[in-house]
Amino acid sequence: MNPLSPNGECFPQAVTAGPGEHAVFIVYRLKKTPATLDAVKDVCANFAALVRSMQNRFPDQEFSAVTGFGAEAWSALFPERPKPAELVPFREIKGAAHTAVATPGDLFFHIRTRKMGLCMELAGILADKLKGVVEPVDETHGFRFHDGRDIIGFVDGTENPAVDDHVYRFAVIGDAEPEFRGGSYAFAQKYLHDMEAWNALSVEEQEKVIGRRKFNDVELSDEEKPANAHNAVANLGDELKIMRANMPFANTVKGEYGTYFIGYASTFSTTRTMLEHMFVGEPAGNTDRLLDFSTPVTGTLFFVPSFALLGELGE
């Protein structure tokens, strides 16, 4: 069933939107202070209006923003409320060669729009509201690269669920968790790439790592595609998809080139299975070749409530 009820009571946050032109990803930890709960409630109560205001003020800028909670924060802030079934702190996945690290995070914001200045306007308002009750974990600024490519030069997002109904089914919680209908599980994972090693590969070798042609994004045939190509390993079939909105980021003076992976799913088990296939392999040992050039430095699971539930959390 479509999680959108006719009166919009379970209206999801923008978990089905595309990656956009600019994106800012922010992760905070909460401090234990007497003011923490009220400050977070203030953000919850006002988040929809803050987003709406930006959308009204800049109607052609495709503004959207998402907020979510880590498992520990949810329990600490809302002890009287039930917890989404799959909201637990992300458990590290350790394969023989690669590790998907687990890192802390209580509050998550993903702000997207056509102009970086507008991302920063909302980010600044949120920082003001949370002043004194949070400590920063990470802020990453992503940008659209050429025609929607990763910083490693491949078009990203092609095999996302496309038809509206499918996007909702895969990205937004429906009947499986009625109390959390309209919500989503967001997994955020910041990767750094070894660009020297990557650029030392020929284009043909890089195409075997991703499983698609670099220039025109055409998928390699079954005969051409190695079993450890990224799109072979991460592909769980047509019935198990997630909505990805990855963004490249870079800091040239630090020599940092990366991908901020963000995947929204109606059930986290789908995302976790993809990660297990990438980091451990299925069968074990068939790990994702992309990981030979990409190392995750964060990994955190968040629950993104529907706008209706977010409003309730603010009461």
- The 3-state secondary structure of 207-236 reads HHHHCECCCCCCECCCCCCCCCCHHHHCCC
- Count other C-beta atoms under 10 Å from residue 177's C-beta: 15
Q: Cβ of residue 61: shortest distance to ligand HEM, in angstroms?
A: 25
Task: Give me the least distance between CB of 54 and ligand HEM, in Å please.
Answer: 28
Residue ranges in contact with ligand HEM by CB under 6 A: 150, 152, 154, 156-159, 189, 191, 210, 212, 230-231, 234-235, 244, 246, 259, 261, 263, 271, 274-275, 290, 294
Of 206 and 306, the one with the shorter C-beta distance to ligand HEM is 206
Residue 194 is encoded by which pair of tokens? 């070894």
d(CA 74, CA 270): 22
- Identify which of residues 10 and 280 has a Cβ nearer to ligand HEM in the complex: 280
CB of 89 to ligand HEM, least distance (A): 17
Shortest Cβ distance from residue 160 to ligand HEM (Å)? 6
Residue number of the CB closest to ligand HEM reads: 159
Give the residues across from 24 on adjacent strands.
111, 141
Tell me whether residue 13 or residue 246 sits nearer to ligand HEM (CB atom): 246
Q: How far is CA 300 from CA 87, 185, 242, in A?
A: 11, 11, 16
Active site (annotated) includes residue 292: no
How many residues appear in the chain? 315
Minimum CB distance to ligand HEM smaller for 6 or for 237 = 237
How far is it, in rounded angstroms, from Cα 150 to Cα 144? 8
In the complex, least distance from residue 127 CB atom to ligand HEM, rounded to whole angstroms: 27
46 with 311: CB under 8 angstroms?
A: no
Among residues 156, 164, 175, 288, the one annotated as catalytic is 156
User: Please, which residue, 16 or 294, has the CB nearer to ligand HEM?
Assistant: 294
Beta bridge partners of 189: 261
Contacts of 301 (CB under 8 A, 6+ apart): 70, 71, 86, 87, 88, 89, 90, 185, 186, 187, 268
Q: Which amino acid type is present at position 52?
A: R
Residues annotated as catalytic are 156
